Structure 1
Amino acid sequence: MKKLILLIFCLAIGINVNAQEKKTNPSYDAALAKKYEADDNGMKMYILVIFKTGANTTATKLESDSAFAGHMANMGKLVKENKLIVAGPMGKNDKNYRGIFILNTKSIEEAKAILATDPAVKAKLLDADLFNWYGSAALAAYLTEVDKVRKFK
């Protein structure tokens, strides 16, 4: 009897869940979703890059300064190419993590090719761990606003 009641209860829950329809978002913009390559949940795959201190610990200040100036210039180029969506440094930590990128690419292989163009990575001042990451497809929209919130260039 208990098994029968449990079966009926489970069936009733299943029927109720299946009967609920997904409601269409009244703010949905199909053209914008297409532009940002969003799936039906408004999400897409990116590559999350976590930079850490690289193997080169003997670079001179001049070499390091030059490589990191190139790193910053490369970031600007990647933003213009719509490859770099988010970037930023990390605070001091015991893991030697230095910063993150969120790259607008679907494959780790393409992300590795992108990172190979970075002077700080080439100089082995930075090393990177790469992960597939599923996030909001609208993340790239913040790039159109970033200059409006920073006071100095």
Structure 2
Amino acid sequence: MKNILLLILPFWFSIASAQQENKYDEKLANELGADEYGMKTYVFCILKTGSNTTATPEEQSKLFKGHMENIIKLSKEGKLSLAGPFMKNDKNYRGIFIFNVSTIEEAKKLVESDPAVQAKIFEAELTLWYCSAALQEVGKIHEKISKTKF
């Protein structure tokens, strides 16, 4: 978790610095649900290796395809602000989701829509997280910079 914070803090500080240099945009702040600091509540999810260790390669392939399709669906719905895998590690961390919802209950329903979670390939840990409301804009920017789509 410490490593995650070390990666996220520079992002947060760069946003904070940019906000000081730029003029406040009340319309955008309202659209993004930002508080007076430009922040909002999300739900942070760590996906870990689940208990299903018997899935065949064919089953895993099908589940991962469904996993990616679900990520794209939730992103298009505005419910998922960020997702991505971890590199190989000794903590059994597989990836993260940052859900654009304000309660654990809402996020639990969303994570349970993932076929890989349903099949217990992944298990999810959920916690409330406070971050820049601008995080929701990452997906729009990513679309502009990715040549290959999933």
Partner Cα separation in structure 2 for residue 152 and residue 109 of structure 1:
34
Partner Cα separation in structure 2 for residue 59 and residue 144 of structure 1:
35
Partner in structure 2 of residue 56 of structure 1: 52
How far does residue 57 in structure 1 lie from its aligned partner after superposition? Answer: 0.4
The number of aligned residues is 130
**TM-score when normalising by structure 1:** 0.82
Partner in structure 2 of residue 30 of structure 1: 26
| Structure 1 unaligned blocks of 5 or more | 1-23
* Shift in alpha-carbon separation, 1:26–1:152, aligned structure 2, 3 A: closer
Identity over aligned pairs, percent: 52
Find out whether 1:140 has 2:136 as its counterpart.
yes
**TM-score when normalising by structure 2:** 0.83
Partner Cα separation in structure 1 for residue 137 and residue 113 of structure 2:
25
Question: Superposition RMSD on alpha carbons, in Å?
Answer: 1.3
Deviation per CA, 1:102-127, whole angstroms, max 9, x where unpaired?
00000001100111111000000000
Find out whether 1:87 has 2:103 as its counterpart.
no
How far does residue 25 in structure 1 lie from its aligned partner after superposition? Answer: 7.4
Larger Rg: 1
Instruction: Give 1:130's match in structure 2, choosing from 126, 131, 135.
Output: 126
Deviation per CA, 1:10-62, whole angstroms, max 9, x where unpaired?
xxxxxxxxxxxxxx976101110000000000000000000000000011111
How far does residue 147 in structure 1 lie from its aligned partner after superposition? Answer: 1.5
Partner Cα separation in structure 2 for residue 143 and residue 66 of structure 1:
25
| Structure 2 unaligned blocks of 5 or more | 1-19
Runs (4+) off by over 2 Å:
none
